[in-house]
Every structure is written in C-alpha cells, then in structure tokens.
Structure 1
Amino acid sequence: MPIQDSETGDADAIKGESADRSSMPERRSGIHGWLDGVRSTRAGRLTLKIVIGTIGAIMVVGGLIMVPFPGPGWLIVFAGLAVLATEFHWARRALEFGKRVLHDWTEWYKRQGWPIRVIVLIVTIAAAAVIVYVGLRTLGIDLIELAQRFI
C-alpha cells in the first residue's frame, strides 16, 4: 500500500523506499527514438545493421576510390565511418583513431615554419597531378600529348 511522502506529497513512496523513476530510461524522441524502436526487435536490429552496414560500406569504398583524386575523398570516408559507427563498435574506434591522427597531423603542420609548409603544399600538388595524369591516362586521355598539340 503506497504511503504518501509528507514533503512532496508523492504517493509513490513505499515505506521509506521510493519508486525511483529516474532509474528508468527516458524515452528519446526524433530519430533516436525511432532507431530505438527499430532496435527493440531482433529482426529490426538485424535489418538496421544490414542497412547501415551497406550504406556505410558504400560510402567508405567510394571515398577511398576518390581519395587519390582532387575532391572530398577523405571527407566521404570519414562520413561513411560515422554512419557505420552508429551500429558498429569497431567503426567507432576507427573513426576516433582517424580523428586523432588528423588532429595530430594538423597540430604538427601548424607548428612548422613556412618552408616546410611550402614543401608539403608542393608535394601534395605534385602527387595530385601525377594521380590525375595516371588516372586520365588509363582512360585513354594523354594530357602531355594534348598539351604538345597546342604548343
């Protein structure tokens, strides 16, 4: 039989032992609530893992293909890892590792003087140019031959 708490008027206090509602998980709203609902069944969990795994894998592989070319290759790889991290612990660890390495790299780069920064820029541009040249060459487009025609 519930005994009313004299201080708060709470009827849930039972003989010195209150029903602590704060220990119950709070129902989330929005996308998180929807995902919790999907995860509440075995079929939903499996389906969600398959869908998230497929979308994330496509993004990571697509991003890795784009990495050598100018554009957002690494950004797409990290976005794909973020998608995978919603369901897979290993992806969360890989994403954290990648963010840590990127942060360390940018901090190292900021500490360098202008000669090192210029060298890094030149090497980056040269590597991108070689990769684009080789990529176009495999498609049958020779940029050097095209340039010689115009000279």
Structure 2
Amino acid sequence: MNAESDERTGESAADGESELGSRAPDFIKARKTLHLSWQVGVFVVGLAVVGAGVAMLVLPGPGWVVIFGGMAIWATEFVWAQLVLRWTKRKVTEAAQRALDPKVRRRNIILTTIGLVIVALLLGFYLWKYGLVMPWKIND
C-alpha cells in the first residue's frame, strides 16, 4: 500500500498523527440524521470563522490565524480539512527550517539592509526636494 492511500484511510498512526475522520461523539455518529446535523453545524461554524478571517485580511485583525482556526474547526469533522491542515503544517515546518539556515538568514539580512537603504535614500531625496510640510500647514 502506498503512503498516499495510507494517509487517506487514517492508517498512518505510526508517525504520531491522529486518525482521519469524524471526531464527533459516538452517540452522534450512531444516528445518521444527528450526525448529518452535526456536520452541517460544524460546517456553518467553520465557514463563519473562515469568513471572519478573510474579512480580517483587509480589516484589522489576525486574518490568517483565524482562517486556520476555521480550518481546524472543519478538521474536527471533514477529512479534506484534516489533509489540508497536515499539508500546511508540513510546509510551515519546512519553511521555518529553511529560514533558520545560516545562508538564508544572511541573504535575508543583506536584502533587508539594501531595502532600508533604498527607502532612506528615497525619503532623503523627497525631503531635500520638497521639504517637510505638515498637511495642516499647506497653503492653498
């Protein structure tokens, strides 16, 4: 059996990850109508949280954190959300390890320094050319 099918069936408990599938209580899973209602409720709550997170991408607030919180709510019931969260966790871990690489850190520090020097030069040129005039002191 390949690793992909193992992951979808939840047989990958050897690597410390929990099984895939619904985490609803057994008495809810035992009744089909109740379980469907439970899934609809989880979906609606997750959708509301993800929607709030998307709104926070343009409004003040921790947008991505809230979106991933909504995905975590969905992951309590839906396998596709569990797979998305596993993939995201793996990619974030890989990115964190890459960011801690000394060569990458050195490159990022150099690029940041160059960017700050360019911004300082542009700001200095603007102030030299136009001076510092407060908006409330502009003459018509």
What TM-score, normalized by structure 2, do the two folds share?
Answer: 0.56
Alignment of 1:24-103 (within 5 A): 35-68=25-58, 71-103=61-93
**Higher alpha-carbon Rg:** 1
Asked if 1:116 is matched to 2:108, the reply is yes
Count, aligned residues: 97
Q: Which has the higher contact order (CA 8 A, sep 6+)?
A: 2
Change (3 A) 1:34 1:110: closer
Q: Which runs of 5+ in 1 are unaligned?
A: 1-32, 124-146
**Letter in structure 2 aligned against 1:46:** L
Moved more, 84-93 or 59-68: 59-68
In the other structure, the counterpart of 2:118 is none
Q: Which runs of 5+ in 2 are unaligned?
A: 1-22, 116-133
How high is the sequence identity, in percent, across the aligned residues?
26
- SS for the counterpart of 2:69 is helix
In the other structure, the counterpart of 2:97 is 107
- SS for the counterpart of 1:87 is coil
How far is 1:113 from its partner?
A: 2.1
Alignment of 1:133-144 (within 5 A): none
**Letter in structure 2 aligned against 1:40:** A
Change (3 A) 1:34 1:78: closer
Change (3 A) 1:119 1:44: farther
**Letter in structure 2 aligned against 1:48:** W
**Letter in structure 2 aligned against 1:149:** W
